[in-house]
Amino acid sequence: MAVARKPRYVDVSNPSLSVECPRCGLLTARFIDHCRNCGYKLWPSSVVASAAFKAWRDADPRRVEASRFDLETPPEPIVAEVDYAARAHELGIHLFPNSNFPFIICVGALFLALAAIPFSSTARIVLAVIGGLIFLYGVVGWVLVEDVRMYPSETPPAHGEGQH
Ligand SMILES: [Zn+2]
């Protein structure tokens, strides 16, 4: 393991990852030993530059994600999570609950569709009855059972809701 010599001085209070090159004046990575634009030697060696970067990075826990090859520190991650169910409730929008019943409805629809094929009439009636029962079970479970369970307050609050 190479022993990195401690840099003589690195300004860890400066949060910038970039620096203006003393020779060409263009912005370049602060902890790379050469200027990216003109090749001017900013640090005695890449080992020293790396050690300086580590000292700079360890000075502030917010710099953990920083890379010495970047010109800017990475932005704060944006928390873009939205609880759509809560938001919809707030806005008074009715969302259908997450449910497996649509799959059951589709299975019922499959049997109903099979009943439309011109087999012998008894087979078609049997298929239609099976499909209809599965279809109705799915619809009732989704719309009448799960939906009411998810929005229990929508039916009783006839007296409390109109006051504000
Ligand atoms: Zn330069």
> What is the 70 CA–ligand 1 centroid distance (Å)?
16
Q: What is the pTM of this model?
A: 0.46
SS3 of 125, please?
helix
Which two three-digit tokens encode residue 30? 């602060």
pLDDT for position 132:
94
Residue with tokens 């259908």: 96
Contacts of 131 (CB under 8 A, 6+ apart): 108, 109, 110, 111, 112, 113, 114, 115
> What is the 44 CA–ligand 1 centroid distance (Å)?
15
Residues measured by CB to lie within 5 Å of ligand 1, the ion: 21, 23-24, 35, 37-38, 40
17 contacts 30 by C-beta, under 8 angstroms:
yes
> What is the 32 CA–ligand 1 centroid distance (Å)?
12
Q: How does pLDDT run across 62-84, given as a tens digit for each residue? A: 888 899 899 988 888 788 888 88
Would you place residue 100 in the very low, low, confident or very high pLDDT band (cuts 50, 70, 90)? confident
> What is the 35 CA–ligand 1 centroid distance (Å)?
5
Q: How does pLDDT run across 28-52, given as a tens digit for each residue? A: 999 999 999 999 999 999 999 999 9
